[in-house]
Copies of this chain bind each other. A is one copy, B any other.
């Protein structure tokens, strides 16, 4: 495996705009992806913050087709493809690999709880065998607060050993700094992304490769700025500045907050719509969010 071909840097779990009948708004989606890509932001389409688990398999495939046809570079994409059932995960993963994506972000099957490492291993192994494609690059998605199915060191080790050129990295959204440091000590060179830019500097210093963060949807250039300069004297100050924006946004539920922000800064109320079971911020929350962002001088140039 050519290490230089692996993904790194800043990716956004791209938020998905919806029309008033809750169908994906393809034009706004493509435009947002192009805005992100223009700022050197990779596209982790169909992540948690994309409301991807509220989309059908067909909707996800159709949106990915549309992005590639629209000229977005697939090598900078890491679509989420992990579903509850093996056939669904295989279908999405094959489709993404055939588009030449840089990698896929794979949740474990997340309905059944307290499952064994053996069961999770069999699940990932079966998926890898059914996809049967050497181009496959899997980033395991560890997000115990949402999936309620954690991916521990033993399981990761077993998967890496069995599929060294395929299981190449991880997205860790646990927010647990000790976990990321333990993983990177155990698996040096693993393609380790943190799920929030608040841990970007810690991750890079521990040997990680970047972050896949919700707030990259609205603050991509600044987050990429830290990624570019993490070895410099400016790094701690840049991290501090990112934390200020992040802290302001995450006063509120993330997906509705992001859509409120894009809607406001893009002067486009159509963006402020979520597919159930998520709901938009109420007016008081939305106003406070924008006032607080303005107070710290936040802007979204070029949106």
In the complex, whether A278 has a CB less than 8 A from a CB of chain B is yes
B277 touches A122 (CB 8 A): yes
Which of A80-88, A174-182, A294-302 is found at the contact surface with chain B?
A: A80-88
Q: How far is the CA of A57 from the CA of B87 in the complex (A)?
A: 9
In the complex, which residues of chain B have a beta carbon less than 8 angstroms from the beta carbon of A265? Answer: none
- Residue of B53, B58, B91, B119 near A277 (CB, 8 A) is B119
In the complex, which residues of chain B have a beta carbon less than 8 angstroms from the beta carbon of A276? Answer: 86, 109, 119-120, 122-123, 126
Given contact pairs A56-B88, A84-B53, A126-B22, A279 touches B145 in the complex (Cβ within 8 A): no
Q: How far is the CA of A146 from the CA of B54 in the complex (A)?
A: 18
**Copies of this protein, total:** 2
In the complex, whether A134 has a CB less than 8 A from a CB of chain B is no
- Residue of B53, B116, B279 near A119 (CB, 8 A) is B279
> Which chain A residues in 41-65 approach chain B with CB under 8 Å?
48, 53-59
Q: How far is the CA of A147 from the CA of B56 in the complex (A)?
A: 19
In the complex, which residues of chain B have a beta carbon less than 8 angstroms from the beta carbon of A120? Answer: 276-277
In the complex, which residues of chain B have a beta carbon less than 8 angstroms from the beta carbon of A145? Answer: 113
Who on chain B is nearest to A282 by CB? B118
What count of chain A residues pass the 8 Å CB interface test? 39
In the complex, whether A17 has a CB less than 8 A from a CB of chain B is no
In the complex, which residues of chain B have a beta carbon less than 8 angstroms from the beta carbon of A91? Answer: 56
- Residue of B54, B118, B147 near A85 (CB, 8 A) is B54
B56 touches A109 (CB 8 A): no
B59 touches A108 (CB 8 A): no
Q: How far is the CA of A118 from the CA of B282 in the complex (A)?
A: 12
In the complex, whether A163 has a CB less than 8 A from a CB of chain B is no
Who on chain B is nearest to A110 by CB? B111
- Residue of B108, B119, B277 near A115 (CB, 8 A) is B277
B22 touches A279 (CB 8 A): no
In the complex, which residues of chain B have a beta carbon less than 8 angstroms from the beta carbon of A123? Answer: 276-277
Q: Which 9 A-B pairs have the closest CB atoms?
A: A53-B111, A119-B277, A123-B276, A122-B276, A56-B87, A115-B277, A53-B84, A119-B279, A123-B277
Pull 22 A–B residue pairs with CB atoms less than 8 Å apart, ordered by A: A48-B111, A48-B112, A53-B85, A53-B112, A54-B84, A54-B111, A55-B85, A55-B87, A58-B87, A59-B87, A84-B84, A86-B275, A86-B276, A110-B111, A112-B146, A112-B278, A113-B145, A113-B146, A113-B148, A115-B279, A119-B278, A122-B277
- Other A-B pairs beyond A53-B85, A54-B109, A115-B278, 13, CB < 8 Å: A22-B126, A53-B84, A54-B86, A56-B91, A84-B84, A86-B276, A113-B146, A113-B148, A116-B279, A118-B279, A119-B278, A122-B276, A126-B276
